Amino acid sequence: MPRTDDPLAGPVACVDLETTGGYAARDRVIEAAVILLEDGRETGAWSTLVNPGVRIPRAIQQFTGISEAMVADAPTFAQIADELASRLEGRLFVAHNARFDYGFLRAEFRRLGRRFRAPVLCTVRLSRALTPGERGHNLDAVMARWGIACDARHRAQGDARVLAELLQMARARFAHAELGGIVQRLLAAPRLPPAIDPAIADELPEGPGVYLIHGEDDALLYVGKAKNLATRMPAHFADPRARRDQELAKRARRIDWIETAGEFGALLTEARLVRERRPLLNRRQRGADEGWTIRLGDDASGARASIVPLAAAEDPGDGYGTFRNARDARCALEGLARAHALCAKQLGLEQGEGSCVGFAFGRCRGACAGRESAAIHALRVRMALAGLRRRAWPFDGPIAIRERDWRGMEDCFVFDDWRLEGRAWDPEVYRILAGFLERPLPGAEMVPLAAARAATRDAGADP
């Protein structure tokens, strides 16, 4: 008899799918496999190729080894739906990055006018919980860590069997009470606003992307990025103490998301959507049109500053700093004045006759009272602002940032002189790219295109 205190003792289905792509609403299943477990022992195995009714991209064929010829005579999903549903009925649905496989099955059943639901355990999340000190929880990393072999990697039955072995090893290695607490926590449904269909939590993918929260009349309330959509988006509603999260919980009516191949793509997508769609509850949107910068004028003092929109400049690099709004730029200027004992009146931060307020309190060296020459003060102003100067483009030409996820989904972004290809100067894009170059994100690769193109030309040249 199965142990009643063992959370994985009951009927379990370890599931893996291969698909034509990463977007469940558009792409289709091309292979499915189910390994059945009872009390940790395998009691059945089933797999089949599936004719998707659409072409299989070449990258997917190379990734999985499944060609269009192999699925030409395979059954359609409609033809396997009854058998698959019967094998999954009443079982715990286990998959690696389970939101992907579960979301695809729900989408395929939905196309047939059928509803599919099951309790879901994600082995990515299980791996993180069981080995919290380890980095990397994709299936290859898990296999290496637990010593699991697979002779049919990236095929549905081979990958599903890896999951079955992982569960068996976890049951043997961890105490039932400890493992039970972890699994129960992972199975707990996230809290969502009452107007949101709770089934949406089952569909959120375990991966990076951007989520969009809509309110009444489909008004866009909020856009956010996530390293993990399945955990980040529900976090807004788990314990809404912040005023914005309380407002979101009250007004949310619908949730959408956009998956990206990595975190860098999520950052850029979030910045673009916030700029273009102007969600009501994104703080950065208030007063932020195209960004602002600090300029120094050519008046007699040589140090008078003005805060101007970046869009008004022919060359955004002429200014000091890129700010989301004029208030942030003024705060930065005031902070530099205090830190470097600069004259607020000479900078243009104060008006009126006489010396500036800071001079009376020893926070100005006296440029406004004749104690410091205008030339020296202007030099100190430029030195204080130098740290805000936009960095010079550190490459000989354009670069590409490429990201590829475990499914083979790839994003590629081309930049030149801090601008995203085909786009105008954007201070948020500058901030994202500059940050990435200082601290690259996992899974993202930077490629200097000038060098790559030169190498391609050289390789094709006649000897």
Q: Decide if 7 is inside a domain.
A: no
Residues 154 and 42 in one domain: yes
Give the residue from 315, 334, 226 showing the smallest Cα distance to 270: 226
- And the tokens for 78? 């409609």
Q: Decide if 180 is inside a domain.
A: yes
Per-residue model confidence as pLDDT tens digits over 338-386: 999 999 999 999 988 889 999 988 999 999 998 999 999 999 999 999 9
Residues 152 and 208 in one domain: no
Residues 265 and 245 in one domain: yes
Residues 404 and 384 in one domain: no
User: Across residues 224-238, what is the average pLDDT?
Assistant: 84
Which of these three, 187, 218, 248, is where a domain ends? 187
User: Across residues 400-416, what is the average pLDDT?
Assistant: 86
Bridge partners of 446, per DSSP, are: 401
Taking the CB of residue 393, how many other CB atoms lie within 10 A of it?
A: 15
Residues 60 and 164 in one domain: yes
Task: State in Å, rounded, how far the first CA of the chain is from the last one.
Answer: 74
Which of these three, 231, 252, 285, is where a domain ends? 285
Residues 331 and 366 in one domain: yes
Residues 331 and 384 in one domain: yes
CATH number at residue 107: 3.30.420.10
At residue 463, the pLDDT reads: 40
Q: Decide if 3 is inside a domain.
A: no
Residue 257 contacts residue 205 (beta carbons within 8 Å) = yes
Q: How far, in Å, CA of 386 to CA of 393, rounded? A: 16
CATH number at residue 249: 3.40.1440.10
Residue ranges making up the domain that contains 372: 292-388
At residue 286, the pLDDT reads: 43
Q: What CA–CA distances, in Å, run from 299 to 180, 191, 366, 375, 378?
A: 73, 59, 18, 12, 11
Amino acid letter for position 275? R
Give the residue from 233, 231, 226 showing the smallest Cα distance to 255: 233
Which of these three, 388, 418, 444, is where a domain ends? 388
Higher pLDDT, 136 or 412: 412
Amino acid letter for position 121? L
Q: How many domains does the chain have?
A: 4
Q: Decide if 345 is inside a domain.
A: yes
Q: Decide if 2 is inside a domain.
A: no
Q: Decide if 341 is inside a domain.
A: yes
Residue in the structure block whose two tokens are 């801090």: 418
At residue 457, the pLDDT reads: 53
Task: Output b/e per residue, 136-149; b: 16+ Cβ within 10 A.
Answer: ebebebbbeebebe
Residues 445 and 361 in one domain: no
Q: How far, in Å, CA of 179 to CA of 163, rounded? A: 16
Residues 345 and 448 in one domain: no
User: Across residues 280-302, what is the average pLDDT?
Assistant: 70
Residues 360 and 301 in one domain: yes
Q: What CA–CA distances, in Å, run from 76 to 51, 71, 114, 365, 386?
A: 5, 9, 15, 80, 64
Residue 414 contacts residue 399 (beta carbons within 8 Å) = yes
Residue in the structure block whose two tokens are 């009854």: 82
Q: How does the average pLDDT of the chain come out, rounded?
A: 87
HEC-encoded secondary structure of 439-462: CCCCCEEEEEHHHHHHHHHHHHCC
pLDDT band at 1 (very low <50, low <70, confident <90, very high): very low
Per-residue model confidence as pLDDT tens digits over 415-458: 999 999 988 878 789 889 999 999 999 889 999 997 655 554 55
Residues 328 and 256 in one domain: no
Determine if the pTM surpasses 0.75: no
Q: Decide if 192 is inside a domain.
A: no
Model confidence at 244: pLDDT above 90: no
Residue 171 contacts residue 179 (beta carbons within 8 Å) = yes
Residues 181 and 217 in one domain: no
Q: Decide if 393 is inside a domain.
A: no
At residue 201, the pLDDT reads: 79
